[in-house]
Amino acid sequence: MAGTAARSDQDLCKVLDNGFVKLVDFLGGDGRAVESARVSFGSVSKGEAQDRKLIAYLLEHGHLSPFEHSVFQFHIKCPIFVARQWMRHRIASYNEISARYTEVHDEFYFPSEFRGQDRSNRQGSLPSAGLDQERMKAVYDRAIKAAYSAYKELLDAGAAREMARMVLPVAQYTQFYWSINARSLLNFINLRADSHAQWEIRRYAEAIQDVFSAKMPWTWEAWKGLNEKKAS
């Protein structure tokens, strides 16, 4: 129930071709949610069965503040277009690498397969057998290389890093630290591990879901059960 530091490479999960999710630190747990909820009437744990029941009750009835006392800190590496979606989640803290301070490395997301436009979900995409993958990959590769070459040329010609970076595409990898409480993280997982979210951010949300379920298994089980009940 006490805070658990987690800083080894065991906590690093590779995502996409060059990205990762790394749990840097963790504070709290299922027990912290139970203690926080029961503090109002001066009681703590009542044993696993009762504690799990309380967690399920809190989640089902939207009493979510007890879950705010557990905090996950992650180090994330993802393409900029994924980070743009990610940072819409405001109830969290972010610190990102600065391309004004440091020169950007030649590191871009290269999709293993292009997807076609989904006709029913206008935001979505679908695996599509008819696509000319080789041609698309060649076009993509050419564009990425041209952009990075322009970036380097601007730097060599004396442009400031903060200006040279303007030619870089959103497939460029970025890194950030992300601290988020368990309540807000459940919201993130719900929205971003969902089939409506873009395939690439879903891979990250799934890696984060694995971390969540390992660190707060009672909460995760209850949350999953609740979602299954709602869906049926």
Applying CB under 6 A, which residues contact ligand FAD?
Answer: 88-91, 123, 184, 187, 191-192, 196-197
CB of 26 to ligand FAD, least distance (A): 19
CB of 38 to ligand FAD, least distance (A): 25
Q: Which helix (H) or strand (E) holds 200?
A: helix 199-215
CB of 190 to ligand FAD, least distance (A): 9
Residue whose CB is less far from ligand FAD, 104 or 186 = 186
- Position of tokens 């694995």? 210
Helix then strand count (H, E) for the chain reads 8, 8
* Tokens found for residue 71: 């905090």
Cα separation of 170 and 75, whole Å? 19
Residue whose CB is less far from ligand FAD, 172 or 184 = 184
CB of 114 to ligand FAD, least distance (A): 20
Spatial CB neighbours of 222, under 8 Å, sequence gap ≥ 6: 52, 55, 56, 59
Name the residue with the smallest CB distance to ligand FAD: 90
List, in sequence order, the alpha helices (H) in 43-164.
Answer: 48-60, 80-86, 133-156, 161-164
Residue whose CB is less far from ligand FAD, 39 or 91 = 91
Residue whose CB is less far from ligand FAD, 108 or 204 = 204
Q: Which of 165, 183, 192, 203 is catalytic?
A: 192
- Establish whether 165 is a catalytic residue: no
Residue whose CB is less far from ligand FAD, 88 or 230 = 88
CB of 15 to ligand FAD, least distance (A): 17
Cβ-in-10-Å burial (0-12, 13-18, 19+) of 102 comes to exposed
**What percent of the residues of the chain are helix, what percent strand, and what percent coil, each to the nearest 5?**
50, 20, 30
Spatial CB neighbours of 158, under 8 Å, sequence gap ≥ 6: none
Active site residues per annotation: 192
